[in-house]
Amino acid sequence: MIVLSRVITLCKVYPRSLALVLVGMFVCIMILFSAPGNFPEWASVSVAPGASLRDVARELNTLHVVRSERLFYVYMVFFGIDDDLKAGTYYFKKPIGLAALARRLISSDYGATPVKLIVPEGMNVFELAKVVVAQFPNIEYADFIARASLYEGYLFPDTYFFPDDASSNDIIYGMKSTFEDKARNVSGWDDLNIEDRRRAVILASIVEEEASSEEDRKLVAGVLKNRLAINMPLQVDVVFKYINGKTTQTLTTDDLATDSPYNTYKFAGLPPTAISSPSLMSLDAAINYEHTDYWYFLADSKGVVHYSKTYGEHLYKKGLYIR
């Protein structure tokens, strides 16, 4: 602000033409040395080997790391450093301006040692926390659980590269941002309000645990939608992995009576939160589900899903396929 006040003073003293030059210089300095206002809180940029300057400029603009794709391109060409980009993944703990960004990209200043974090589809925050603390010693299990639990279902399953000194918030923010970007690719997502999106994510997390093929996911979602429509308990076993770590094979009668809001045998409707990180396929199934006359389903030991229209038919198939 001191610089701006001085520029204003000069504009009052000197002729208009010179004042315009000074203002132009001030604007250029601000552009070169200040970061964009929407620079991400945490950002990483990957420069592929052989990537063109235009490709890099486009990526930087998409990630809001530069103010303008064209401005970055012109700057690099003007200073003759357009061919000096070094491949690799660059990490930014805080926003930086265009000039500082250019220096890092031509000097291999990556910012930190990258750690590869693989998050498979269907992983919940408890499982994720174990993986995270094993790879990031400065992160505590309980702290990560406390923070990540707020976003169960919204931590997108993918392969990530984080700085070795990343915090819980860094990892959670990166995964949540990826979810927000990816979810836009699902048909119908943008048409949903906040509450319908929340319900879709919860349903998708159940579908993720119950089915594997695209066809089964949409049919399973259709069955669950039928039950939700008449307030019939969902009665899905997969919630117990979230409640007590048990699977269908290890459940007991006492487990089914567990007093937990996640127990879909005891309480009708959806659980209060998602129970895992759903894939885009499951999210799509939850939104664009198959309308069906089926009310029941079960999976055999080979993972094949069998559907039934009546409870009697369901019991018959249960005796036939579940041993």
Q: Within this chain, do residues 285 and 208 fall inside the same structural domain, yes or no?
A: yes
Out of 106, 127, 153, a domain closes at 106
| Residue in 126, 134, 92, 129 with CA at minimum distance from that of residue 109 | 92
Quote the pLDDT of residue 29.
54
At 29-73, the pLDDT tens digits run: 555 557 777 787 667 788 888 889 999 999 988 888 888 888 888
Please check whether residue 261 is in contact with residue 271, taking contact to mean a CB–CB distance below 8 angstroms. yes
94-108, 223-237, 294-308: which is most confident = 223-237
Q: Within this chain, do residues 235 and 209 fall inside the same structural domain, yes or no?
A: yes
Structure tokens at 31: 């552009």
Which has more pLDDT, 99 or 16?
A: 99
Determine which of 16-20, 125-129, 143-147, 310-314 has the lowest per-residue pLDDT on average.
16-20
Quote the pLDDT of residue 221.
98
Q: Within this chain, do residues 92 and 130 fall inside the same structural domain, yes or no?
A: no
Dist CA 82 CA 100 (whole Å): 15
Q: Within this chain, do residues 40 and 100 fall inside the same structural domain, yes or no?
A: yes
Residue 144 lies inside a defined structural domain of this protein:
yes
Quote the pLDDT of residue 27.
55
- Cα 322 off chain centre by: 36
Structure tokens at 228: 């939700």
- High-pLDDT (> 90) share of the chain, %: 53
DSSP 143-212: HHHHHHGGGTT-S--SEEEEETT--HHHHHHHHHHHHHHHHTTSTTGGGS-HHHHHHHHHHHHHHHHH--
Q: Within this chain, do residues 165 and 253 fall inside the same structural domain, yes or no?
A: no
Quote the pLDDT of residue 43.
74
Sort 178 into a burial class: Cβ within 10 Å, 0-12 / 13-18 / 19+: middle
Please check whether residue 322 is in contact with residue 249, taking contact to mean a CB–CB distance below 8 angstroms. no
Residue 313 lies inside a defined structural domain of this protein:
no
Name all contacts of 1-5 with Cβ < 8 Å and 24+ positions apart.
3/29
Which has more pLDDT, 77 or 227?
A: 227
Determine which of 198-212, 264-278, 299-313 has the lowest per-residue pLDDT on average.
299-313
Residue 312 lies inside a defined structural domain of this protein:
no
Determine which of 216-225, 226-235, 243-252 has the lowest per-residue pLDDT on average.
243-252
Residue 17 reports pLDDT greater than 60 = no
Q: Within this chain, do residues 51 and 137 fall inside the same structural domain, yes or no?
A: no
Residue 277 lies inside a defined structural domain of this protein:
yes
Give the CA distances from residue 25 to residues 82, 102, 112, 120, 243, in Å, rounded to whole numbers and listed in that order: 23, 19, 34, 50, 62
Quote the pLDDT of residue 3.
45
Residue 12 reports pLDDT greater than 70 = no
Give me the mean pLDDT over the 107-111 stretch: 83
Residue 46 lies inside a defined structural domain of this protein:
yes
Quote the pLDDT of residue 31.
56
Sort 194 into a burial class: Cβ within 10 Å, 0-12 / 13-18 / 19+: exposed
Number of domains in the chain: 3
Supply the pTM of this predicted model.
0.71
> Phi/psi at 89 (nearest 5 deg)?
-105, 125
Residue 310 lies inside a defined structural domain of this protein:
no
Q: Within this chain, do residues 96 and 121 fall inside the same structural domain, yes or no?
A: no
Quote the pLDDT of residue 183.
95
The DSSP bridge partners found for residue 107 are: none
Hey, is 72 helix, strand or coil?
helix
Q: What is the mean pLDDT of the chain?
A: 87
Which has more pLDDT, 207 or 246?
A: 207
Which has more pLDDT, 41 or 245?
A: 245
Q: Within this chain, do residues 50 and 140 fall inside the same structural domain, yes or no?
A: no
Quote the pLDDT of residue 83.
84
CA angle at 279 for the pair 114 and 178, rounded to the nearest 5°: 40
Q: Within this chain, do residues 148 and 230 fall inside the same structural domain, yes or no?
A: no
Quote the pLDDT of residue 163.
80
Domain, as residue range, for 150? 114-183
Give me the mean pLDDT over the 259-272 stretch: 95
Hey, is 305 helix, strand or coil?
strand
Residue 52 lies inside a defined structural domain of this protein:
yes
DSSP 27-63: HHHHHHHS--TT--SSEEEEE-TT--HHHHHHHHHHT
2 pLDDT tier (thresholds 50, 70, 90): very low
- High-pLDDT (> 70) share of the chain, %: 88
Please check whether residue 162 is in contact with residue 171, taking contact to mean a CB–CB distance below 8 angstroms. yes
CA angle at 213 for the pair 212 and 218, rounded to the nearest 5°: 100
Dist CA 246 CA 315 (whole Å): 22
Give me the mean pLDDT over the 108-131 stretch: 89
